């Protein structure tokens, strides 16, 4: 079969899956949501599975992934008998979090949500469709545009569950909310998850997404999170991705920011077969501030891409992006960043940087930092480097009696630390520091304090 | 600030200074493109069989291709059947001295500020003036011939040096390279041919002035420069075009081949008619320029100052195939009114220890859009490759756009690739500082723009640098220049 016929059959299979399971998918959803699902599927049919000829997917090949036939789908929640809260505790000292589990894209029924302040809503997306229909329908699918991206469309078409978080006005949640997404199955699985986070005026929240795989089977995960930041609100979003090499992780984070709101995202990719993070931020209010950071460590034949786009549409907004890659063995990496400043967005400051270190001959890095500026009152810059550890710095350390290997590690760690330094939860930062340190030494395949046995 | 705005408006409102049509009879074939037309062009030029085959192959490929749509450009529909593909001045005299040249032509060049005789005497530049598509005047040919240098029109080269043409034509830009290159390969009428023999250092700057003249005539230039081992040449290309309301298509191809230790410097000042203040008319400049550093230690430099054309689609590129080869791309692109430019470069590193540098300075004013699009690719075998790219954009006015689309693909561990870009406007503090020292806002803008572009302009040969500076001034400074 030629590539185009493979893609065609894959697209037909997806359509068939959609029509056959339509009733199951629509369970509990109101007419607006059903409509959104319908529109998303149509959009997907129009765009199809993106090949590398599609500019936005130039550096990540998804056709192979979607042409595999033996993936099952998690149309129903997977059942577990044991108490997850007991089994899993991220045992970081002084690091206390609210823990919410997802298994194969489904909100875990034993999640405890009783300790949140009054007015806060934290529940499964599926029940929110029923119980908070009005609220959900105001934001759902409004931030991530199904007609613009085939993966968003696919998520919109197949999304059944995820977490819905609503923080009312003036509520500050001090303890980070840790959302642990587990993949566990006895067969190869395709997983869809859809989250929606709405922050009311002047509220604050810290979210931490941890992604793990608990089975030897292959997974394709299509996750999408929409975050709406109301006026003066602050959101920290940390993502730690630690999956085995059989996992393809396609993650979307779409944010709308209101006036004076602040966003920090920090994506740490430690492991994963194929990882593609799509970050999209619309700065819709004046003086909004967005900082996007990412660190990716890849080895073997892993592939990772960070794809960011930031839209400045109002005056006085700031954005800053720093993405770093360390590529070992025959891994490949990609970075695509786009800053778009619209005509009215005066006094914009937007910066973007991608630095990569290639450790071996076979490793490969593609980077595409883009600026689209339609306004003269801006300060924008971008930069990209691909290179190696500085030989002079290495030599300097060695003259101080540090052996080469150790010196190299020190420099690598220093390289990575610029990203890690931006984590605002101190105990978390320390723990990730340690984790990255161990990862660079090749000693760790999982969070060292975690009791779960993630299989590589 | 108000003062500055008035000034910018003044600048934006400026009309094209070189707008006129000179009245020289031309010999054209009917509009339209078909296999027949390709054959007619080839027959008219009395070309050997291999050229006709080359053209037909390109034409057939072109039929299967589509206009590229990935650039940040809005290109109106182009009717390729509404273009005359061949036009040559009716008289084709071969002059030995300037007295014999058609006075009309001489005065045209005088209006452009390119006095042939003066250049001949003072600057020592050999000028191969291309009027429409056939070369009508070549000077200094004898001097160059003594050294074994071949500098002639493309048709002459096909007649007298078919072996060289056959060997190198299409080596860097093959007929199936892209839509416009294929079109050019099929219908190109004339152009320049340069061959520098082994070990020869070309004693003067070689220069060609292009000029689109007959109405509705697409101009398809073809330039081929071959620098044999240990040779050096500096080639200058400059162009201005008369005012016209209908859009004109210009799809040129330039190929440069540098063999072992050869060095080629290619400088362009491009000032085609950019359309009027409302964006009506102007030249479409869809050019494919590419150099091949074929031999070891070879060097190719692209220097360009782009101020004209309604739409520019141009990416002078280098393939660094030879070990230790070096390539440079230096560019100033200025857009005003409704001009659009999508320009940049490709540096493809294939050989070991290859080095490339990219310096791109964009200036956008009025309602224009100015994009830098570049690719730096380091192949797995290109060990110790080094690239440094810098692309800065300067915005004048809040209706214009400046965009940067760099692509960096690195395939091995011991290469270093760096890219940086900034976008800003002229700082109010900078202007204030100048005002404080008694320099008017107008002069201050001129100074700052020229200072900003200096890095690139300094790379141009003397004769060109002066013209380029003047161009930037008249393009931006309104009353000045």
Q: Please give the full DSSP string across B252-264, using - where no structure is assigned.
A: -EEEEEE-TT-EE
Residue at A446 is within a domain:
no
Helix axes B35-44, B49-63, angle to 10 degrees: 150
The nearest CA of chain B is from the CA of A414 a distance in Å of 19
For residue range A141-198, what is the model confidence (pLDDT) as tens digits?
999 999 999 999 999 999 999 999 999 999 999 999 999 888 888 888 889 999 999 9
Residue at A448 is within a domain:
no
In angstroms, rounded to a whole number, what is the distance separating the alpha carbons of residues A447 and A126?
30
Name the nearest CA neighbour of A307 among A254, A382, A363, A246: A254
Q: In the structure encoding, which two tokens stand for residue A58, read together? A: 């130039």
- Which of A105-114, A287-296, B277-286, B388-397 reaches the highest mean pLDDT? A287-296
pLDDT band at B274 (very low <50, low <70, confident <90, very high): confident
Place of tokens 């509705």: B216
Tell me the mean pLDDT in the region B342-349: 93
pLDDT band at B474 (very low <50, low <70, confident <90, very high): low
Cβ-nearest to B407 among A360, A368, A372:
A368
In angstroms, rounded to a whole number, what is the distance separating the alpha carbons of residues A226 and A203?
17
Element spanning B356, H or E: strand B355-365
pLDDT at B119 over 80: no
Q: Which residues of B touch A (CB under 8 A)?
A: 70, 72, 380, 393, 395-425
Residue at A394 is within a domain:
no
Residue at A303 is within a domain:
yes
Tell me the mean pLDDT in the region A305-333: 93
Look at strands B26-28 and B326-335 and give their pairing: unpaired
> Residue A386 in contact with residue A363, Cβ under 8 Å?
no
What percent of chain A has pLDDT above 90? 46
> Residue A277 in contact with residue A253, Cβ under 8 Å?
yes
Cβ within 8 Å, pair B404-A371: yes
pLDDT at A376 over 60: yes
In angstroms, rounded to a whole number, what is the distance separating the alpha carbons of residues B317 and B301?
10
In angstroms, rounded to a whole number, what is the distance separating the alpha carbons of residues B60 and B19?
37
Chain A residue whose CA is closest to B422: A381
Cβ within 8 Å, pair A366-B409: yes
What's the whole-model pTM score?
Answer: 0.83
Tell me the mean pLDDT in the region B67-92: 75
pLDDT at B18 over 70: no
In angstroms, rounded to a whole number, what is the distance separating the alpha carbons of residues B85 and B34?
10
What percent of chain A has pLDDT above 70? 93
Q: What is the pLDDT of residue B93?
A: 39
Helix, strand and coil percent figures for chain A, each rounded to 5: 25, 35, 35
Q: What is the pLDDT of residue B46?
A: 84
Residue at A37 is within a domain:
yes
Element spanning A7, H or E: helix A3-20
In angstroms, rounded to a whole number, what is the distance separating the alpha carbons of residues A328 and A325?
10
For residue A356, the chain B residues in CB contact (below 8 A) are 410
For residue A383, the chain B residues in CB contact (below 8 A) are 418-421
- For residue B301, how many C-alpha atoms fall within 13 Å in the half-sphere facing its CB? 18
For residue A387, the chain B residues in CB contact (below 8 A) are 415-418
Ramachandran bin of A375, using left for φ above 0, alpha for ψ from -120 to 50, beta for the remaining angles: beta
Distances (CA, A) of A415 to A249, A357, B123: 25, 9, 54
> How many distinct structural domains can be found in chain A?
1
Place of tokens 């061949």: B86
Q: Does A53 touch chain B (CB under 8 A)?
A: no
pLDDT at A235 over 70: yes
For residue B396, the chain A residues in CB contact (below 8 A) are 376
Element spanning A23, H or E: helix A22-26
B438-446, Cβ contacts within 8 angstroms, sequence gap of 24 or more: B441/B3, B441/B4, B441/B7, B442/B7, B442/B477, B442/B478, B442/B479, B442/B480, B443/B480, B445/B4, B445/B7, B445/B396, B445/B476, B445/B477, B446/B473, B446/B476, B446/B477, B446/B480
User: Following DSSP, what letter does each residue of B14-60 receive, concatenated?
Assistant: PPPTT-------EEEPPS---HHHHHHHHHHTT--HHHHHHHHHHHH
Helix runs in A132-246, H state only? 133-139, 150-158
Look at strands A262-271 and A289-298 and give their pairing: parallel
For residue range B233-269, what is the model confidence (pLDDT) as tens digits?
998 886 554 445 455 788 889 999 999 999 999 988 8
Q: What is the pLDDT of residue B335?
A: 87
Residue B203 CA to its chain's centroid (Å): 23
Look at strands A189-199 and A177-183 and give their pairing: unpaired
Strands (DSSP E) found in A18-120: 72-73, 98-103, 106-107
Chain B residue whose CA is closest to A59: B409
pLDDT at A433 over 60: yes
pLDDT at B67 over 90: no
Contacts of residue A442, defined as CB under 8 A and 6 or more positions apart, other chains included, come to none
Distances (CA, A) of A17 to A25, A41, A158, A161, A190: 11, 11, 9, 17, 12
Residue at A381 is within a domain:
yes
For residue range B284-337, what is the model confidence (pLDDT) as tens digits?
889 999 999 999 999 999 999 888 788 999 999 999 999 999 999 999 998 888
- For residue B173, how many C-alpha atoms fall within 13 Å in the half-sphere facing its CB? 28
B164 burial via Cβ count (<10 Å: 0-12, 13-18, 19+): middle
Cβ-nearest to A378 among B414, B421, B423:
B423
> Residue B309 in contact with residue B251, Cβ under 8 Å?
no
pLDDT band at B144 (very low <50, low <70, confident <90, very high): confident
Q: What is the pLDDT of residue A136?
A: 92
pLDDT at A283 over 60: yes
Residue B112 CA to its chain's centroid (Å): 18
Element spanning B348, H or E: strand B346-349
Q: In the structure encoding, which two tokens stand for residue A185, read together? A: 């199955």
In angstroms, rounded to a whole number, what is the distance separating the alpha carbons of residues B147 and B28?
37
- For chain A, give the mean pLDDT: 87
Name the nearest CA neighbour of B275 among B220, B213, B337: B337
For residue range B169-217, what is the model confidence (pLDDT) as tens digits?
989 999 888 999 999 998 887 788 899 999 999 887 787 654 444 444 4
Least confident range from A125-129, A450-454, B432-436: namely A450-454
- For chain B, give the mean pLDDT: 79
Cβ within 8 Å, pair A384-B406: yes
Least confident range from A57-66, A434-443, B168-177, B348-357: namely A434-443
Phi, psi of B473 (to 5 degrees): -65, -50
In angstroms, rounded to a whole number, what is the distance separating the alpha carbons of residues A408 and A448?
23
Number of H helices, E strands in chain B: 12, 24
In angstroms, rounded to a whole number, what is the distance separating the alpha carbons of residues B396 and B7?
10
Distances (CA, A) of B429 to B432, B445, B450: 5, 12, 17
> Residue A249 in contact with residue A224, Cβ under 8 Å?
no
pLDDT at A25 over 60: yes
Helix runs in B94-196, H state only? 103-111, 116-118, 141-147, 154-160, 162-168, 179-187
> Residue B256 in contact with residue B291, Cβ under 8 Å?
yes
Tell me the mean pLDDT in the region B60-81: 86
Dihedral sign from CA coordinates of B112, B117, B123, B125: positive
Cβ within 8 Å, pair B406-A364: no
Residue at A449 is within a domain:
no
Cβ within 8 Å, pair B413-A374: no
Q: In the structure encoding, which two tokens stand for residue B189, read together? A: 């009428």
Least confident range from A71-80, A432-441, B127-136, B465-474: namely B127-136
pLDDT band at B133 (very low <50, low <70, confident <90, very high): very low
Name the nearest CA neighbour of B39 among B187, B208, B240: B187
Cβ within 8 Å, pair A387-B408: no
The nearest CA of chain B is from the CA of A77 a distance in Å of 42
Place of tokens 């859809």: A194
For residue B391, the chain A residues in CB contact (below 8 A) are none
Q: What is the pLDDT of residue B217?
A: 45
pLDDT band at B6 (very low <50, low <70, confident <90, very high): low
Q: In the structure encoding, which two tokens stand for residue A83, read together? A: 């108490």
Q: What is the pLDDT of residue A270?
A: 84
Cβ within 8 Å, pair A382-B395: no
Residue A301 or A91, more confident: A301
Beta bridge partners of B271: B240
Cβ within 8 Å, pair A380-B422: yes
Cβ within 8 Å, pair B413-A370: no
Chain A residue whose CA is closest to B416: A387
> Residue B396 in contact with residue B427, Cβ under 8 Å?
no
For residue A365, the chain B residues in CB contact (below 8 A) are 408-410
Q: What is the pLDDT of residue A395?
A: 93
In angstroms, rounded to a whole number, what is the distance separating the alpha carbons of residues B238 and B127?
11
Total CB pairs under 8 A between chain A and B: 115
Domain of residue A379: give its range: 3-388
Most B CBs within 10 Å: which of A331, A336, A384, as the mutation test of the B interface?
A384
Place of tokens 């782009």: B306
Cβ within 8 Å, pair B412-A366: no
Cβ within 8 Å, pair A384-B418: yes
In angstroms, rounded to a whole number, what is the distance separating the alpha carbons of residues A141 and A256?
12
pLDDT at B477 over 80: no
N-terminal to C-terminal alpha carbon distance within chain A: 32
In angstroms, rounded to a whole number, what is the distance separating the alpha carbons of residues A140 and A409?
44
Cβ within 8 Å, pair A382-B420: yes
In angstroms, rounded to a whole number, what is the distance separating the alpha carbons of residues A397 and B83?
68
Residue at A118 is within a domain:
yes
Least confident range from A127-131, A446-450, B201-205: namely A446-450
């Amino acid at each position: 079969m030629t590539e185009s016929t493979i893609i065609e059959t894959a697209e037909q299979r997806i359509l068939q899956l959609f029509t056959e399971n339509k009733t199951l998918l629509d369970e509990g959803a109101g007419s607006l949501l059903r409509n959104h699902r319908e529109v998303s599927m149509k959009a997907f049919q129009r765009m199809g599975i993106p090949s590398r000829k599609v500019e936005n997917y130039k550096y990540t090949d998804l056709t192979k992934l979607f042409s595999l036939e033996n993936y099952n789908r998690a149309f129903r929640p997977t059942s577990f008998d044991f108490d997850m809260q007991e089994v899993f505790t991220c045992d970081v000292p002084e690091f206390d979090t609210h823990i919410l589990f997802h298994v194969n894209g489904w909100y875990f029924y034993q999640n405890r949500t009783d300790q949140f302040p009054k007015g806060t809503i934290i529940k499964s997306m599926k029940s929110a469709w029923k119980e908070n229909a009005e609220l959900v329908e105001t934001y759902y699918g409004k931030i991530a545009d199904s007609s613009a991206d085939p993966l968003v469309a696919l998520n919109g078409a197949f999304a059944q569950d995820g977490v819905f978080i609503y923080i009312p006005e003036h509520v500050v949640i001090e303890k980070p909310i840790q959302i642990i997404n587990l993949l566990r199955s006895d067969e190869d699985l395709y997983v869809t998850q859809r989250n929606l986070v709405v922050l009311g005026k002047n509220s604050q929240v810290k979210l931490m997404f941890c992604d793990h795989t608990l089975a030897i089977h292959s997974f394709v995960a299509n996750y999408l999170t929409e975050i709406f930041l109301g006026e003066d609100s602050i959101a920290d979003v940390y993502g730690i991705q630690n999956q085995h090499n059989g996992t393809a992780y396609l993650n979307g984070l779409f944010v709308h920011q209101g006036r004076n709101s602040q966003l920090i995202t920090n994506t740490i990719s430690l492991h994963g077969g194929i990882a593609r993070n799509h970050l999209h931020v619309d700065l819709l209010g004046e003086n909004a501030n967005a900082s996007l950071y990412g660190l990716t460590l890849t080895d073997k034949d892993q592939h990772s891409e960070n794809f960011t786009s930031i839209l400045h549409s109002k005056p006085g907004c700031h954005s800053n992006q720093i993405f770093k890659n360390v590529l070992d063995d025959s891994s490949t990496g990609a970075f695509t960043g786009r800053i778009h400043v619209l005509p009215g967005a005066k006094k914009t400051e937007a910066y973007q940087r991608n630095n990569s270190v290639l450790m071996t001959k076979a490793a490969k890095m593609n980077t595409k930092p883009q600026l689209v500026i339609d306004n003269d009152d801006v300060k924008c810059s971008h930069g990209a480097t691909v290179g190696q550890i500085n030989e002079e710095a290495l030599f300097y350390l060695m003259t101080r009696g540090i052996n080469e290997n150790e010196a190299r590690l020190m420099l690598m760690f220093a390289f990575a630390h610029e990203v890690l330094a931006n984590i605002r939860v101190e105990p978390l930062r320390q723990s990730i520091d340690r984790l990255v340190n161990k990862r660079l030494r090749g000693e760790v395949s999982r969070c060292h304090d975690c009791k779960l046995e993630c299989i590589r | 600030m108000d003062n500055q705005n008035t000034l910018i408006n003044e600048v934006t409102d400026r009309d094209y200074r070189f707008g006129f049509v000179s009245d020289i009879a031309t010999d054209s074939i009917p509009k339209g493109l078909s296999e027949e037309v390709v054959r007619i062009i080839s027959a008219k030029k009395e070309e050997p069989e291999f050229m006709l085959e080359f053209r037909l192959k390109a034409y057939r490929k072109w039929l299967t291709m589509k206009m590229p749509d990935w650039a940040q450009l809005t290109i109106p529909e182009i009717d390729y059947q509404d273009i005359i593909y061949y036009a040559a001045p009716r008289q084709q005299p071969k002059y030995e001295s300037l007295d014999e040249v058609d006075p009309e032509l001489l005065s045209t060049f005088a209006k452009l500020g390119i006095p042939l005789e003066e250049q001949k005497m003072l600057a020592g530049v050999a000028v191969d003036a291309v009027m429409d598509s056939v070369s009508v005047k070549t000077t200094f040919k004898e001097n160059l011939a003594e050294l074994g240098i071949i500098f002639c029109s493309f048709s002459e080269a096909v007649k007298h040096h078919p072996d060289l043409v056959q060997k190198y034509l299409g080596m860097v830009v093959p007929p199936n390279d892209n839509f416009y290159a294929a079109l050019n390969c099929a219908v190109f009428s004339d152009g320049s041919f340069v061959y520098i023999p082994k070990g020869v250092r070309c004693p003067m700057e070689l220069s060609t002035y292009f000029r689109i003249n007959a109405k509705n005539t697409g101009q398809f230039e073809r330039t081929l420069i071959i620098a044999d081992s240990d040779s050096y040449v500096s080639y200058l290309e400059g162009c201005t075009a008369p005012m016209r309301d209908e859009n004109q298509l210009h799809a040129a191809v330039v190929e440069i081949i540098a063999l072992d230790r050869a060095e080629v410097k290619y400088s362009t000042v491009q000032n085609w008619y950019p359309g009027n203040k409302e964006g009506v008319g102007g030249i479409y400049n869809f050019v494919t320029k590419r150099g091949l550093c074929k031999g070891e230690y070879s060097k190719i430099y692209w220097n360009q100052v782009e101020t004209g054309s309604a739409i520019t689609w141009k990416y002078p590129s280098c393939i660094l195939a030879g070990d230790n080869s070096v390539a440079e791309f230096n560019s100033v692109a200025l857009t005003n009114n409704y001009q659009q430019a999508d320009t940049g470069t490709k540096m493809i590193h294939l050989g070991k220890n290859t080095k490339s540098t990219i310096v791109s300075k964009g200036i956008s004013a009025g309602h224009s859009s100015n994009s830098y699009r570049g690719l730096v690719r380091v192949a797995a075998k290109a060990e110790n490759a080094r690239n440094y790219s810098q692309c800065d954009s300067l915005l004048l006015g809040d209706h214009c756009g400046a965009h940067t689309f760099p692509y960096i693909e690195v395939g091995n561990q011991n290469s270093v690739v760096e890219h940086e870009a900034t976008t800003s406007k002229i700082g109010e503090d900078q202007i204030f500082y100048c005002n404080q020292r008694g320099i008017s806002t107008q002069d201050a803008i001129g100074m700052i723009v020229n200072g900003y572009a200096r890095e690139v302009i300094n790379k141009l040969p003397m004769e060109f640098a002066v013209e380029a500076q003047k161009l930037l001034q008249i393009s931006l400074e309104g009353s000045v220049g």
